[in-house]
Amino acid sequence: MNKKYLKNVEKINMWNSFMGAVKSVLKYKGFDDISNFELLGISGRAFDFVIGTKCDAGGVTVYDWGSEHFHQLDRVGIYSDFKLNFNNDLNTYRYLQNDCISLIKNYIDKDTPVIIWAPTDILEFGIINGYDDEDEVFFVKDVANDDPDPLLYKNLGFSLVPYLYICFIKDFIKIDNEKAYRTSLAYGVREWNKKFHISKYYSKGLKAYDNLMFSIKEGDFDRFGFKYCLSVYNESKRAIYDYLNYLREKSSSLNISSEVIEIFLEVSSIFSELVLEYPFLGHNDYYIIENKDSLIKKFERLKYIENEGFKILKDDVLKM
pLDDT (average), residues 54-68: 93
Please spell the DSSP secondary structure of 168-191, one letter per residue.
EEEEE----HHHHHHHHHHHHHHH
| Per-residue model confidence as pLDDT tens digits over 270-284 | 999 999 999 998 877
In this structure, are residues 169 and 80 in contact, taking their beta carbons and an 8 Å threshold? yes
| Per-residue model confidence as pLDDT tens digits over 83-142 | 999 887 888 999 999 999 999 999 999 999 999 999 999 999 999 999 999 999 999 999
Cα–Cα separations (whole angstroms), residue 149 to 106, 134, 195, 271: 22, 16, 42, 35
pLDDT (average), residues 224-242: 96
Q: Are strands 114-117 and 125-132 parallel, antiparallel or unpaired?
A: antiparallel
SS3 assignment, position 60: helix
Identify the pLDDT of residue 270: 97
Please spell the DSSP secondary structure of 245-286, one letter per residue.
HHHHHH-SS----HHHHHHHHHHHHHHHHHHHHS----TT--
In angstroms, the CA 16 to CA 39 distance is: 11
In angstroms, the CA 117 to CA 17 distance is: 10
Residue 11 scores a pLDDT above 90:
no
In angstroms, the CA 2 to CA 131 distance is: 8
Residue 285 scores a pLDDT above 80:
no
Identify the pLDDT of residue 171: 94
In angstroms, the CA 59 to CA 202 distance is: 7
Identify the pLDDT of residue 286: 64
Cα–Cα separations (whole angstroms), residue 253 to 179, 208, 256: 9, 31, 9
What secondary structure letter does DSSP report for 157?
T
Identify the pLDDT of residue 104: 98
307-311's contacts with Cβ under 8 Å and 24+ in sequence apart are 307/192, 307/206, 308/263, 309/260, 309/263, 309/264, 309/267, 310/188, 310/189, 310/192, 310/193, 310/206
Identify the pLDDT of residue 43: 97
Identify the pLDDT of residue 32: 76
In angstroms, the CA 185 to CA 179 distance is: 10
Place 144 in a pLDDT band, splitting at 50, 70 and 90: confident
Identify the pLDDT of residue 315: 94
Report percent pLDDT > 70 for the chain. 99
Considering only 35-44, 56-65, 265-274, 285-294, which range has the smallest mean pLDDT?
A: 285-294
Question: CB-based contacts of 32: which residues, under 8 Å, 6+ apart?
Answer: 23, 26
Average pLDDT across the chain, whole number: 93
| Per-residue model confidence as pLDDT tens digits over 188-228 | 999 999 998 988 899 999 999 999 999 998 867 888 999 99
Element (H, E) at 117: strand 114-117
| Per-residue model confidence as pLDDT tens digits over 289-301 | 778 889 999 999 9
Residue 288 scores a pLDDT above 70:
yes
